[in-house]
Amino acid sequence: MNYDPNCKKCSRLEKFLSDTKNKYPQYFCKPVPSFGDKNPFLLIVGLAPGMHGANQTGRPFTGDHAGILLYETLYEYGFSSKKNSEFNDNLQIAGCRITNAVKCLPPENKPKTDEVNNCNVFLSSEINELRAGSILLALGLIAHNAILKSQGLIGSHFKFSHGYRHILPNGLILYDSYHCSRYNTQTKRLTKAMFCNIFSNIKKEKEK
């Protein structure tokens, strides 16, 4: 199972979702499912739903700044049918799936270690469905570490580094990127050119 819409493993997150739903009754405010191709070549793993993004819309990286660069790049590299992702826009993704290390909205967008660990069973299930040679793209260190944990791998053997390519023992290939958050893009820690360079390499993998 890679998704449980009624998951209540994390009491802190359950309470925060309930409080947020009371404040924003129109928001999704539930564990956010993955989005995209059911049999993807590329699985993108983010951190967690954003307050006014996926927590509002129910779709990863949709509704806030973090999704702007991601969907724009997915469109440019042929994975997405549209350049922008908006609520109820019938956008389609082919060959790619987007998920998060943590399915529920965390306070201040900072999940605790036990919350990441509780959610890891869902990520593990999703990754284990991938074919050998498929690509994982970790957006940030927490996503990177969650991927490694899901496969029983030691972080010190596969250190996070932007743009780095790791070959995992199960035949999957892991690429690292800084998260496409508002902070990272506005401070130029992650530029469009840096992000596109990773997708160029991923596209080459697909063409092999």
Task: Determine, yes or no, domain membership for 136.
Answer: yes
pLDDT of residue 170: 93
Task: Determine, yes or no, domain membership for 158.
Answer: yes
CA 152 to chain centre: 19
DSSP run (H or E) holding 76: helix 66-76
Which residue's entry shows tokens 């209540």? Answer: 8
Task: Determine, yes or no, domain membership for 99.
Answer: yes
pLDDT of residue 207: 83
DSSP 109: G
CA distance 190 to 199: 13
Task: Determine, yes or no, domain membership for 138.
Answer: yes
pLDDT of residue 208: 75
Q: CB-based burial of residue 71 (10 Å sphere; 0-12 exposed, 13-18 middle, 19+ buried)?
A: buried
Q: Specify the pairing of strand 173-177 against strand 135-139.
A: parallel
Total number of domains in the chain: 1
Q: What is the CATH number of the domain that holds 113?
A: 3.40.470.10
pTM, two decimal places? 0.97
CA distance 169 to 106: 31
pLDDT of residue 155: 85
Task: Determine, yes or no, domain membership for 17.
Answer: no
Helix (H, G, I), strand (E, B) or coil at 198: helix
Task: Determine, yes or no, domain membership for 4.
Answer: no
Domain that holds residue 176: 30-207
Task: Determine, yes or no, domain membership for 197.
Answer: yes
CA distance 109 to 49: 8
Task: Determine, yes or no, domain membership for 41.
Answer: yes
pLDDT in tens, the chain (208 residues): 678 999 999 999 999 999 999 999 999 999 999 999 999 999 999 999 999 999 999 999 999 999 999 999 999 999 999 999 998 899 999 999 999 999 999 999 999 999 999 999 999 999 999 999 999 999 999 999 999 999 999 888 999 999 999 999 999 999 999 999 999 999 999 999 999 999 999 999 988 7
